[in-house]
Structures are given as C-alpha cells and as structure tokens.
Amino acid sequence: MAFSTVHFLCFFLLFLGLPAARVTNASVDPCNAFSDGSGDLSVIPIYAKCSPFAADHGGSLLDTVVKMSSNDPHRLNYLTSLVAGKPNPNSVPIGSGNQLLHTGNYVVRAKLGTPPQLMFMVLDTSSDAAWAPCTGCSGCPSAATAEVNPNSSSTFSSLSCSTAQCAQARGLTCPSSTTASPSPAACSFNHTYGGGSAFSAALVEDTLALSSDEIPGFAFGCITAVTSGGASIPPQGLLGLGRGPMSLMTQTTSLYSGVFSYCLPSFRSFYFSGSLKLGRAGQPGSIKTTPLLKNPHRPSLYYVNLTGVSVGRTRVPVDPKYLGFDPNTGAGTIVDSGTVITRFVQPVYEAIRDEFRKQVKGPFSTLGAFDTCFTADNADNAAPKITLHMTGLDLTLPMENSLIHSSAGSLSCLSMASAPNNVDSVLNVIANLQQQNLRILFDVPNSRIGIAYENCN
C-alpha cells in the first residue's frame, strides 16, 4: 500500500507528541491539530499556513524577514514617540501613531460577542488597548478580514462619555458639559497621524472569549472608518498586552493577576503555532528572571536592565550610558513583540557587529537592514554565539535567533541592526526574531520578566 499523505501526517504528529487520531481521511488539516481548548492560546505567525492572512511571498525565509523588517523603522518611530512624548500616564490612546502600522507579526484567536465572532488579532506587548474593525467600517482592509457585527451580539454596548473608560483614553471627542442632551454622548475617537494615516473609532464593550475563558464587559475600540493607510492596519484588529488601564492584562487583573507568558514560534513554522498562557496557572515552575523596570512617563512598556553583550567569549566594550535605564529620557532596553529584529542604539550595535566580524571570515555584504551578511558552508559553526547580559540573567541566543539563512544558497546574515538613521531612538529593543523558541514570562505584580528555552514550534 502506498504511503499516503494521511499516513505521513499521522507519523509526523506522533513524532511531535500529538494524537494521530485527529487526522482522518475526511479532514487532513494540520492547523486543526492545535486547538485552544487546553487553556493555552495559539500564537501564529501572521504569514503561516494556519493564519487567514497566509500568502505565498516567494523567495527564501531570509527574503521574507528582510521584507518584514523593512517596516521596523515605523515601529521604532512609534516606540520612540512613546518614551519621548511623556504623555499622561493615566491617559492612553485606543491606537496611537504608527502603533497601527506594521505590527502584525503574530496573531491569536479571539472571539468577541454573544454568540462569539472569531477574530485573528495581532499580539502586541507595547500596546495599551484592543481594537477591531466593526461592520460597515469605511476604508478598513478588505483582504482576508473579519469584522465585529454589533447587531449580532446580545452583549454589545457602546460606552458613553461619562464612563471611566472614556476618561482613560486620549483623543476622545465628546460634547462640552454645558451641551444639553437627553442621553449621554457616545465616546468616540478621531486620530490623524504623520504621513496621513487616520482612523475613527467608538469605545465599546462586549464579551471577549480567549480559549475557554470569557471576559464580560471588555472595553475596546470599534473602528468605523480609516481615511488612509488602511492597507497597513492589521485586518482583524489588535490585542494589547501592555500595562495601561485599558490593556487586556489590566482589564483582567482579577482573572489573570497581571501574569502572562508566550512562546513565539519560528517564522519557519508554516503549520505550527506557539502559545500564549494567561494567568499564573501553567507557567514555568523554575525560570531565570530579571527585574522589570517601569518608566513613569510610559508605564506600559516592558523595560529590562541590559548590562552588556558578549560575542562568543568576548564582552564587547560599550559605554554604560548607551545601555542604562533613564526614565527621564526613556532610554534603556525593552522587550517588544511587534518589532521584527533586535535594534540597538548605534554605538552598541556597531560594537557588537565589529566584534562579530572579527570572529567570522568575510567578505561581508548588506541585504536590507542587515549589514553583516557572509557566505559559509556551515555558518552556524563559523559564527560565534551572542549573549545578552541582564541583571540576574544571561541569555545566550540560540544560533537561529542570531543568524538568519537564505534557503536558496549559503548566504547568512547577523539578524540584528542599529536604529535607522532617520529615527532618533534612545531605545534598545529585544525583538520577536530574537525571542523565538523561548518562553518569555511577564510577571507584573512581582516586577520581573522570566526567560527559558522552549521549543515553541
């Protein structure tokens, strides 16, 4: 008997420790092998086959990452604006500036409303709120999109200007208190961004379902119109995991205690997903941690104290002022799920790059954001490992997190970069490519971040 696709898939799932009984001749769908009924949420690369946004980008994985990382300057601009603007810490926007642009690297399944409506929402640790497109949204992305239909949910309601949630959000448009009105006005938003990108939203609440948990009265932005830049907005919305008053973790403190972790799968994982664990249950019992620092001007960002970087056995010489945490300027190092490749301020990156080049035989070439690409038959053996030193924790990056290879040849690149020349950034950003196949624990009550090696694929 011929060895069929079903037989192969059953064998492969058994190899991964998954029940082959899930695969039948009637339905050969590896994406269905990962359900969210176990208490974990699947974390899916947005271009993976199990994502509704999957697309054939062509070329190699290196080409795909180069294309994705070309949008990082928008992200760095947004993060820099957060730490430089010193906004009111008790006031957060539904969506702010380039936060809406190019953050779609990983999505999670979420359900909104009663009965539940399935959405694939972008996971973002540097966002303070959630938002989703609503039915009839003008200018919202049309490709592979879903919209929340308020008329189909028995638990949907708009929030008025008199609610506490509305007072916590910037950019609201409400009538003056002297305006006579038979009922409280709806809390709505109009945002305009550099480059002409703008959207309008209403603050609403509905039941949010994550895995087997239901969260009634969850407040989020219901997008009604995008006047420009719509192609760059994640089609099914965003789920913010920051520490602001309207973030998922703040709205669910009684349920999840301000604790979550994720394990991001490699961009190579076209069929398989990582996981998002919410709450204390199921978190690693033993994990190395580093203190979580807090910027009072922008408390939602997850700062850590990066004290140095080693390339191989050599600790690179870096002036401490480029690494130190400064709440007045926002300088320091954050862990961010929305940036693709780790970015250092220029003096730090150049010290790392120069030491890396000393230990690897050139010549070197440039490809996109990567300025240290080289050809080697076995690049993993030729290249030194990179270690990020943090208070109480030394993270030696797996080779796949510091080197990215072309599947079409022997070209490999150091998968880090400096902040773009047009971004006046004081931030070092540990990005999602460097977090892949690691369990990252965010424990806000205990002011710590934990990191452990884990196969997320």
Could you tell me which of 110, 116, 114 has the C-alpha nearest to residue 234?
Answer: 110
Residues annotated as part of the active site? 124, 336
Amino acid at 114: T
pLDDT band at 103 (very low <50, low <70, confident <90, very high): very low
Closest CA to 323 of 309, 311, 313, 335: 309
pTM above 0.85, yes or no: no
Return d(Cα 249, Cα 29) in angstroms, integer: 33
Q: Which of 116-130, 196-210, 242-256, 357-371 has the lowest mean pLDDT?
A: 196-210
Domains of the chain: 41-59+95-174+184-277 (2.40.70.10), 281-453 (2.40.70.10)
Residue 426 has pLDDT above 50, yes or no: yes
pLDDT digits (tens, 9 = 90+) for 41-51: 888 777 667 77
| Residue 111 pLDDT grade (very low, low, confident, very high; cuts 50, 70, 90) | very high
C-alpha to C-alpha distances, 32 to 29, 40, 42, 49, 53, nearest whole angstrom = 6, 15, 11, 11, 16
What HEC string does 58-100 produce?
CCCHHHHHHHHHCCHHHHHHHHHHHHHHCCCCCCEECCCHHHH
**Pair 397, 434: CB distance under 8 Å:** yes
